[in-house]
Structure 1
Amino acid sequence: MNRFSVVLRKHGAGVALKAVLCLVAAVTALIGSAPSAQSADALINLQFGGSDATAYTGAAVIGSEGDFWNLKTGGSKTNTSLLSSTGANTGVTVSFTSQYFGAVSPDQPGSFGFYGTSYADLMQGYIYAFDGTPRSISFSGLAASSSYSVYVYTQGDSGATDRQLTITTNGTTYTALPSVATESTFVASQNYLALTGISDAQGVLTLTYNFAAGEANINAVQVNGPVAVPEPSTCLLLGVSAIAGIGLLRRRRS
């Protein structure tokens, strides 16, 4: 005889139902409190730039001092390998497209908010598009059907606030609206977007980007994870078991 049957016989369906609900709540809490995979080897840093770009080292919104960044030059790449923030092999590759790529000129400090800061190398180069055609950044080789924290950094070479980036992943669109185009620190939804991406069954996570206004600039991307996505059947199975048990008790009493 299992514990659930003992609860049913001793205390009745009402108490048993409460016990099941508590169990479901506990499982949900456990899932929600699962570690966010913030270990160094789970973090991949990607930086864009031209042939003269300088590779950045260190943290951005997340990360640690001395972190490695994968600098990818040019406007497009296909299945190019990525190392972790510690420089370890990950088996993950990235493919990306753009309309152009560019960099802020050192002699334009007035239009480059991060000029002279520790983040200057990270935020100087970028890929971009402004023709209305959606482009993409796709990560392959990730854990299948898993959740990742994704950070997308966006600041071009304009001091105006008319450059707005949209990122779409898993059917959700995020928009960066730079109320201060020359901000010198990271401000959420202004010069970076924090979002959740879920890889597909093949371990591919795709970010589709476009401009909401002016021009879409992407300087860098961080991918952190994975956190396994709970199977919907887990809680469903608990609920079905509870209903079946309570129904059986009621039939016996009648």
Structure 2
Amino acid sequence: MTTGVTATGVVRVHVPGRSIRHDIRAIKIVLHRELLRFVNDRTRMASTLVQPVLWLFVMGTGLSTLVSQGPSQGVDFRTFMYPGVIAMTVITTAMFSAGSIVWDREFGFLREMLVAPVSRASIVIGKCLGGGIVATVQGVIILALAGLVDVPYSPGLILLLLGEMFLASITITAFGVSLAARMKNMQSFFGIMQMAIMPMIFLSGAMFPLANLPGWLAFLTKINPLTYAVDPMRHAVFSHLNVSPQAVEALNPGVHWFGWHVPVAMELALVALMGVALVGVAIFQFRRTD
């Protein structure tokens, strides 16, 4: 930006026009800021890990005593819950990352970003990428606990789970950004977040098998977008376990539409399409933000 003085003493201000180069730089800056915020906030890192660890080792151990003679088919129930706990960690962290937009609005930083000579789409994309990377890094900590629940440390499994985690976290961050773009305070955002996320987690099959559900509950799991993020993770884990076909049928039946088994590749494609659509919604909401 340059300034100059005319003959009449009026100061002229030249603002550089928008360009793809400026938008890419804006994406990098927003992404870098998200990573710095995550690294410097150790309390946040610890707090977002407490709930998943409690679910895995406290709730999982308790439920194991109830289902050890039932549908678990000799599989440790914590092993079954492990993909769901990964998804829970990623989703919670991604939503917290999206919620930082509300903090930025309250402290005035959001207005500074909005008046910058860059497209608002670049701000949203940078935010979604930052939230996706942060949530994936947080999920890596849960990956490190795999051996404690009899999940092998297979390089192929870890890479596959990392990719699925990143895809899910991008989608959830975009969902959170689309909500946070119109929120005025953190209390409202966290209220909406709890109302939206907790039912999605419980209806995704993260905590119970999708086989032999009542009709109404099976219908809710099929229309829940999060189901199509959790099921590929569980499929990846069970494909690396040495368990009986009966255990796979009971604990990892997959998602069925009118008797047709939905392929994992299609589930991932659905998550990706939802992510693109939600990024578009977030950009639209951000453009309406003043």
Normalised by the size of structure 2, how large is the TM-score?
0.23
More strand by share: 1
Normalised by the size of structure 1, how large is the TM-score?
0.26
Larger radius of gyration: 1
